[in-house]
Every structure is written in structure tokens, then in C-alpha cells.
Amino acid sequence: MQRHNLPLHELTATQALRLMRAGELSPVALVEALLERIAARDPVLEAWVRVDRDGAIECARAAERAWRDGTAGPLCGLPLGVKDLIFTKGLPTSANFAPFRNRDPGVDAACVARLRAAGAIVLGKVETTQFAGRDPSRTHNPWDLTRTASGSSSGSAVAVAARMVPVSIATQTGGSIIRPAAYLGIVGLSPTHGQVSREGLLPRSFSFDTVGAMARSVEDVELLFGVIAGPDRSRTSTLVPGQTELARAVLDRAPRLLMIEDFLQRVTPDTAAHFAATIEQLRGRDANVKRAPLPVPLDLLLAIHTIILFVEAGTYHSAMLPLYREHYAPGLRAQLEIGHAIPAHAYLHAQRVRARVRTRFESLLEGVDAIVVPSNPDGAPDRSTIGPHFCQVPWTLMGWPAITLPSGLSQEGLPLGIQLVGAPFAETTLFSVARWAESQIEPLPAPDTASAQSTARAM
């Protein structure tokens, strides 16, 4: 059946689906190849919490029949990983929390239900920091095992970067999609807040929690978004205004970009130089790039986000923390206790300021297709941290969609990225800008896990 030259683990989601549609790739062969890849790589990388080998093969056989019978859905036979904060029926959702280790929710989250209905195959659950907090997970970075795999979506990013799965589902509350995707040299999408249902997601902050996707191409995250976007199953409303039915948009010109100056003053000199060179490269391909400062100080945005996040996280965990205190990671436990101590008037004031700030931010998008900023201040730091989040928090605070693209390697040989930010509910325009930018930037190679392992042993 197979009539192509690429190793199966190197196929993107779009490539795999195209081959399956043409009858040139067996879903069973793809799943088996990825299971072998996981068996070979994951003992070192530790991205997977649970791999549903038998269930995945059974689903792959059903997908093979569906392609043969002409009943295949848009994602039929596509294997993916699901962050272990998102409910999956028959697979425990543990949130990296020992008391939840074997807790089967008995139901799929809305996004997982949509993926399964489209024919996707849940290969298993991938690691998260505990309850999406900032205490690092056990997962290793395949570019350099001494560096962080970041978080909170550490397993989602590593599973895709290490070619153990073509796509994965992740979440962002501060920078938990954009940051790890950029550190790992892949594409990450954090959609407009509310575009994808959070039904069946263990919450961290209801004001910010966003379900998104990671892949190795813009086309792939766009494909997944088109399936998972939509309201809760309990609601009967149609698509929210502005979604334009997720139609594919194509720019008939080079994009108009706005570069925010504040971030270049806070990233490392190496990252600033790399980012400036990338912008000049895009400008040389006729992109119209303007510069502007943030309408309010970055530190104010970070403070607003912190207050709201801590209070909402503390509220969710208020009943569990006294019962399971010893099972909480120390950093998360401290955040929850601080959240309990923040008075209600401070939380309400932070929400009011947030609303005012969002109004002032709207002017940034006038006359431009997307905002462009560095994805991270540098390549991945050491494993004691998941990395700073100031490059992502402003857009999470606004609830605006963002996508990160790999843009090259740092002087230390670690991935760097550019982050494109769009108007709320305008993912179609953001995807068109991202596809254009992706076509202008040389793609990164796959990380060499064997080399990273040797380097780690030598240190």
C-alpha cells in the first residue's frame, strides 16, 4: 500500500491524510510506526503518561475500513496526543496529580469528542505540569536534555517535536502553548479565548484557559482548529460572529505587521538580533512592518494576569488543597495559598482594569493583519524552570489568538520563534499571515535526541 519515501514518523498530519485519501498509506501502518517511535524515544524523553496501544490499533483498523468504504471523516486515521488535563473516556486524566492517577472521567471533553467524530485516533495522554502550574514536569527536551521542556504543555510539545505524533492538543492559561512550542521548534496555536469549548478541561483559570493545538506546520494546526472550534455541547448556539465558518483565507499581498518594541528591550541580545534579522527577511519579501509600543506598561499586564490567575486557581482548588496538601507541587501550592489571601476587591479591580486595557489594545490592530513579537526571550533555559511568560501573557490577557513559528536556532543551537497575534475571532486572517511567514523562513531539522543524550551524559 505504501508508495512514498518519507519515514512514517516524519509525515505531517496533512501529508498523512493526503496519502490515506489516495490509498497510499494504511492508518494501521502509521499508528504502528508511531508506537514503535514512542517505544524507542519516550524512555528518555518521558512525554507520555499513558499510551493506549490496543485502543489505537483498533481505531486504526476502523479508520482503514472507513477509507475503504467511503465513510472517512476529515481526520480519519490521524493519530494525536491529548494533554493530560483534558478528559478522555476510558483513559485516566491525572493532571500530574497522584490522587488523580487512575481517575477515568467516563466522558470525552468536547474537543476530544469532536476529534473522535472526525476520525482522529487518540494515541494516548501526554504530560503536563501539575494542574498546568509552573513546577516543571519530568519531560525532557529532545534538543538538549539539560534544558527545560517548558510547560505547562510539555508533553504535547515534546511528542510533536520528537516525531512521536504529528499533532497534539494542548492548553494555555499564560503561555503554555506558545512558550513550549517555541522552545521545541514547532508550531503552536492558542486560539481566541472561547473559540474552543473548555467543557471537559480541568480548569486553572476560567478567565484565561484556552484549548489549542501543536504541530509541525501551520496547515496542520489550522486543520485541527477547524475541527475542535465551537461551543459547548450543552449549548445550541451557532458559531460565534466573526468565525466566517472557518473558511480558509489567502492574502493576495504580503502582510501588514506591527512589531511591538517593548519586548525587544527584555529579551536577550542574541534573541533580539535574531528577531530583527527575521523581520528584515520578511520585510525584504515585501511585508509592511510598522513599530509601536504597548499602550500600557508590560509590568501592569503581568500583574493583572497574576492576580486573576491566582485567585481563580485558588478558588478551584479550595476544597482539595486541605485534603491533598502533601501531593501538591510546592510552587503550585504557594500560588494557591497566595490566591486565597488576595481580597475580593483586588480581584474585582484587576478584572475592571483588564476590561479598560482591552479597549486600549484594540487600536494596535488598526490597519494591520497581525502583531509580531518574539515567542520567548531566549532559547530553552535549564530544567529548574518552565521559562518566563512575559512574551505571551499580554495576548492571553486580551483573549486574542496567537501562533508561534520556528524561525531558526540560537547561538547555542536551540530553537527560537516568532509569535504572530491576531484580532479576536479572526483566526482565518492569522492563519493566512502565518502560512505566508512560514513560507519565507527555512524550516528547522528534527532534534537529534541521541546527540542530546550524549551531551547530557558528558556534563
**Strand extents, DSSP E, 29-165:** 48-51, 79-83, 121-126
User: Is 313 contained in some domain?
Assistant: no
Tell me if 234 is assigned to some domain.
Answer: yes
**pLDDT one-digit tens code per residue, 146-200:** 999 999 999 999 999 999 999 999 999 999 999 999 999 999 999 999 999 999 9
Judge whether 191 lies within some domain: yes
pTM assigned to the model: 0.95
CA nearest to 400, candidates 214, 219, 202, 242: 242
**Distance separating alpha carbons of residues 18 and 20, to the nearest angstrom:** 6
Region class of 152: left (phi > 0), else alpha (psi between -120 and 50), else beta: alpha
H-helix segments, 317-444: 320-324, 330-341, 344-361, 393-398, 427-440
pLDDT tens-place string over residues 284-311: 999 999 999 999 999 999 999 999 999 9
Q: Pick the catalytic residue from 176, 217, 375, 432.
A: 176
Task: Give how far Cα 177 sits from Cα of 87, 152, 173, 271, 344, Å.
Answer: 18, 8, 9, 19, 29
CATH at residue 107 = 3.90.1300.10
Q: What is the mean pLDDT of residues 136-145?
A: 98
Phi-psi group of 269: left, alpha or beta (phi > 0 → left; psi -120 to 50 → alpha; rest → beta): alpha
How far, in Å, CA of 282 to CA of 115, rounded? 35
**Enclosing domain of residue 88:** 8-298+359-458
What pLDDT is recorded for position 4?
Answer: 66
What is residue 247's predicted lDDT score, i.e. its pLDDT? 62
> 109 with 154: CB under 8 angstroms?
no
Q: Which residues contact 269 (CB under 8 A, 6 or more apart)?
A: none
- 283 Cβ contact partners less than 8 Å away, ≥ 6 residues apart: 289
Residue 327 counted as domain residue: no
Give the pLDDT of residue 250.
77
When divided into structural domains, the chain yields a total of: 1
**Judging by DSSP bridges, how do beta strands 210-215 and 187-190 pair with one another?**
antiparallel
CB 329 within 8 A of CB 133: yes
Distance CA 228, CA 120 (A): 11
Reported as a pLDDT band with limits 50, 70 and 90, residue 236 is very low
Neighbouring C-alpha atoms within 13 Å toward the C-beta of 122: 27
**Average confidence (pLDDT) over 417-422:** 98
Nearest to 173 by CA among 147, 129, 210: 210
Q: Contact at 8 Å (CB) between 214 and 168? A: yes
Assigned domain for 326 exists:
no
β-partners of residue 80 are: 122, 167
- Mean pLDDT rounded to a whole number for the chain: 94
Q: Is 125 tagged catalytic?
A: no
How much is the pLDDT for 234? 64
**Is residue 325 assigned to a domain?**
no
Q: Residue 373 domain-assigned?
A: yes
Instruction: List the catalytic residue out of 26, 137, 152, 197.
Output: 152
Task: Read off φ and ψ for residue 438, nearest 5 degrees.
Answer: -60, -40
Q: What are phi and psi of 264, to 5 degrees?
A: -65, -20
Does residue 239 have a pLDDT over 60? no
Q: What is the pLDDT of residues 305-327, one digit of tens each?
A: 999 999 999 999 999 999 999 99
Classify residue 106: in a domain, yes or no.
Answer: yes
Question: Is residue 83 annotated as part of the catalytic site, yes or no?
Answer: yes
Single-letter amino acid, residue 127: E
98: left (phi over 0), alpha (psi -120 to 50) or beta: alpha
The single-letter DSSP state of residue 364 is: G
Tracing cell 486573576 back to the chain, one arrives at 308
**With bands split at pLDDT 50, 70 and 90, how would you rate the model's confidence at 3?**
low
156/162 Cα distance (integer angstroms):
10
**Rounded percentage of the chain residues whose pLDDT exceeds 90:** 91
Asked if pLDDT for residue 254 goes beyond 70, the answer is yes
Active site residue 152: yes
